[in-house]
Amino acid sequence: MNAGQRPCRWQRGETDGDRCASIAGVGWTRYSRNSGASVEELAVEAVRAAADDAGLDVQEIDGLVTYGLCDTAYSGVVGTSLGLGELNYFSDHTAGGNVACAVVTEAAMAVATGRAKHVAVYRALNGASGIRYGGGAWSQMMATTSLFSDAEPQFLDTCGLTMPAQHFAMLARRHMIKYGTDHRDFAAVAMTCRNHAALNERAQMREPLTLDRYEASPWIADPFRVLDCCLQTDGACALIVTSDERARDLRKPPVRFRAGASSGHAARGVMWTNFAEDHSTCYAARIADRLFAEAGIGREDVDFAELYDCFTYSVLVQLEDFGFVPKGEAGAFFRDGQAALGGRLPVNTHGGLLSEGYIHGLNSVTEAVIQLRGEAGARQVEGAGFGLVCAGGAANSGSALILGAA
């Protein structure tokens, strides 16, 4: 059996970082606050753009994977709109940004096990002009889904905890009490992301952000101000996952899937409530070691990190729990400029969900692809060979990827 025919690690039972799936193309719509299009139209546009980027005929797509919280266009609808024939693989998740990396792993597994040849992973939403997260109407809708229809919202909603910012704020407060983290640490994350977004033509927020402006922004849920919170965005992005062998024959240099890991709900609770013993930690503490072991690299080999930034605090706790800095030192890492372009570990090079746009985390995966292809322009990380992408914020559930350049 030659190298191109070797079974993938899922078939061999190995975790040596052997590469068997690649991302061959990425695509986007415009990110805005009023798309003027349906979610279905956005999804179709993004998938077509990703196929075009790969140099792949749309009709060759035989797998679709997506996720959302009652706010997306599901695979059957999108497949029909694309004019696809029989799908060999499809998957629709009722889930939030915690699965933004897990769905890419799923697509890689579908390709690696021969279930499909070319899988499009996409996320589409009208998050500003359509269904907006937070508030009573959103909470009521969530309470009807299988993910949330249990006793938990009956308790939380009666306490007035109806939006993600309130839940994450409590986790952030615990970290502040335990480690002395303060608002200047959160501000440093927001300002770093905004500086990177200034170099990104797709970003919704590109104007400079100062500490004074951050401190003057309105409160949302103490300790979070509005500039601690991710954007509300209309838009979509997509990527094409295929085998290494097929990717080599397509238009762009392949970005190789090196490792993927997820952490689920071992204890009762959903995405942002956390029954862990230590509320100042997150899912990353449970998956980091096996993620790096599967990739066959160390933390020192990672050239940049796209850390899920639904809120500024989420970036800090993930940086710590993935093992890049000791607990309580992520704020200083940002304040000292080590997360900026040219620093020790550039973080959220596209501006993140705080400044580029909130496509529920999948846009962080597309940014990693652009970086590893060397196509990021003014925000390019020099010599980028490995990138970490993660999704899940400060919650007890999340997922992550390590991607590598060809």
pLDDT (tens digit per residue) in 279-292: 899 999 999 999 99
Catalytically annotated residue among 89, 179, 214, 358: 358
Residue 358 annotated as catalytic: yes
Active-site option among 122, 133, 308, 313: 308
Nearby residues of 116 by Cβ (< 8 Å), 6 or more positions away: 62, 63, 87, 88, 89, 110
pLDDT digits (tens, 9 = 90+) for 230-242: 999 999 999 999 9
Structural contact between residues 231 and 26, judged by C-beta atoms closer than 8 angstroms: no
Instruction: Return the CATH number of 3-130+234-247, one of 3.30.565.10, 3.40.50.1820, 3.20.20.140, 3.40.47.10.
Output: 3.40.47.10
Q: What is the mean pLDDT of the chain?
A: 90
Find where tokens 């992301």 sit: 193
Higher model confidence: residue 265 or residue 322? 322
For residue 350, give both structure tokens: 């596209």
* 2-16, 292-306, 319-333, 386-400: least confidently modelled range: 2-16
DSSP string covering 155-212, please?
A: HHHHTT--SHHHHHHHHHHHHHHHH---HHHHHHHHHHHHHHHTT-TT-S--S---HH
Residue 11 is inside which H or E element, if any?
A: helix 9-12
Res. 67: pLDDT tops 50:
yes
Quick check: 347 pLDDT over 60? yes
Please identify which residue in the block is written with the tokens 């372009």. 341
Which has more confidence, 225 or 144?
225
Q: Decide if pLDDT at 13 tops 50.
A: no
**In the chain, where are the structural domains located?**
3-130+234-247
Q: What is the pTM of this model?
A: 0.93
CA-based nearest residue to 224, from 150, 315, 136: 315
283 labelled catalytic:
no
Q: How confident is the model at residue 152 (pLDDT cuts 50, 70, 90)?
A: low
pLDDT (average), residues 373-399: 93
Q: Provide the residue type at 12 as one letter.
A: R
